[in-house]
Amino acid sequence: MFVDEVEITVAAGDGGRGAMSFRREKFVPRGGPDGGDGGNGGSVYLVASPHLNTLVNYRFQPEHEAERGKHGSGAKRTGANGADLELEVPIGTLVYAKRIEVEGDQPEQSGVVGPARSQGAPDEDWQLVADLAAAGQRALVARGGKGGLGNAHFATSTNRAPRKWQPGLPGDAFRLRLHLKLLADVGLVGFPNAGKSTLISRISAARPKIGDYPFTTLTPNLGVVTMSGDRSFVVADVPGLIEGAHEGHGLGDRFLKHLERTKVLVHLVDVSGVSGRDPVSDLDVLRRELVLFDEELAAKPQLVAATKMDAVVDERLVGPLEERARALDLPFFRISAVTGAGLESLLETVWARIAGTRELTA
């Protein structure tokens, strides 16, 4: 199951309580206070993992909590720190957070010295706290509470037997929204049944579902294209777009966001004539939907590929599309994913565009 948006709760561990204790040994009169400090609570981290491509695990397990710190004890023994909690997420995950206010433990003993941290007003809006775009990247999303001080810290020249100690501070607690945006160099854009899945299965090892009915692809697919000279790039096949996709029509803007990280867009336009649509109109609709969804996305380098050339019924459908692409100053290719015709030229041009963008960002 492909899941690209989830909402979870994370809570760091509370700090351990400081101890109130006095040294009691034979032949040691007035031994004095020896209460140890509490341990710090564990923190919660998100880690980008190359082994995951969906957030489905968090759909069924939405609550996560790190270990709390152990309490201090006599003989100035400090409690153990709580273990940190690391949660793996796919590369390309955006993390939005909203704080959940947690009140610290407030024991009723008269000797309690309250936590030093004050709780502010609740956050009203979600804030972007991390963009995990590289393998192994870690983000601290909830910090563990600090352990409380034992009574040994409160001894003075005038108060040699203090009965004061501190409770541990509460750990942070947040509501997180995780949004996955796939990382790919090339995005394939087209109407349903334009040949995107067939193409990605031909040029990479990806094996998406292929069928002769609309919306065969229901989830994005990634494939690695390997070329000569130790060259490679990642291509993303997203579900087919229709007019109004930016407003959620069809599978809509839910999957348009997966194109935002790509460097090059390839418009696949069916020219076989089987669909009954006008190829020029299809290209214009696709470009318009990109603009309406995100102008920055529409400004990316683009290419146009006339697909299903092996099944063309009327050659007159191809010429106007080529003219329209040239009018837009977009490279145009005639390809067939079935026979392999035109694919080498398309891939070489795509690679040149990718290499150009990599040089600009280097």
Would you state the pLDDT for residue 44? 96
Residues 340 and 331: their CA atoms lie apart, in Å, by 18
Q: What's this model's pTM, rounded to 2 decimal places? A: 0.70
Are 96 and 59 spatial neighbours (Cβ–Cβ below 8 Å)?
no
Phi-psi region of 75 (alpha: psi -120 to 50; beta: other; left: phi over 0): left
Predicted pLDDT of residue 221: 78
Between CA 101 and CA 302 the distance in angstroms is 47
Q: What is the pLDDT along the chain (362 residues), one digit of tens a residue?
A: 567 789 999 999 999 999 999 887 777 677 789 999 999 999 999 999 988 878 888 988 999 999 999 999 988 999 999 999 999 998 889 999 998 875 544 443 434 444 433 333 334 578 999 999 888 999 999 999 999 999 988 988 888 888 899 999 999 999 999 988 877 889 898 888 888 888 988 888 766 555 454 444 456 777 888 888 878 888 888 776 656 544 554 454 566 777 888 899 999 999 998 878 899 999 999 999 888 888 898 999 999 999 999 988 888 889 999 999 999 999 999 999 989 999 999 999 999 998 876 554 44
3-state per-residue secondary structure call for the chain? CCCCEEEEEEECCCCCCCCCCECCECCECCCCECCCCCCCCCCEEEEEECCCCCCHHHHHCCEEECCCCCCCECCCECCCCCCCEEEEEECCEEEEEEECCCCCCCCCCCCECCCCCCCCCCCCCCEEEEEECCCCCEEEEECCCCCCCCHHHHCCCCCCCCCCECCCCCCCEEEEEEEECCCCCEEEEECCCCCHHHHHHHHCCCCCCCCCCCCCCCCCEEEEEEECCCEEEEEEECCCCCCCHHHCCCCCHHHHHHHCCCCEEEEEEECCCCCCCCHHHHHHHHHHHHHHHCHHHHCCCEEEEEECHHHCCCHHHHHHHHHHHHHCCCCEEECCCCCCCCHHHHHHHHHHHHHHHHHHHC
Task: Note the pLDDT of residue 191.
Answer: 87
Nearest to 64 by CA among 178, 147, 148: 178
User: Crossing angle of helices 318-327/279-293, nearest 10°?
Assistant: 40
Q: Which domains does the chain have, with CATH numbers?
A: 1-180 (2.70.210.12), 186-361 (3.40.50.300)
Contact (CB, 8 A) for 219 and 258: no
Q: What angle do CA 254, 256, 259 make, to 5 degrees?
A: 135
Q: How much is the pLDDT for 169?
A: 94
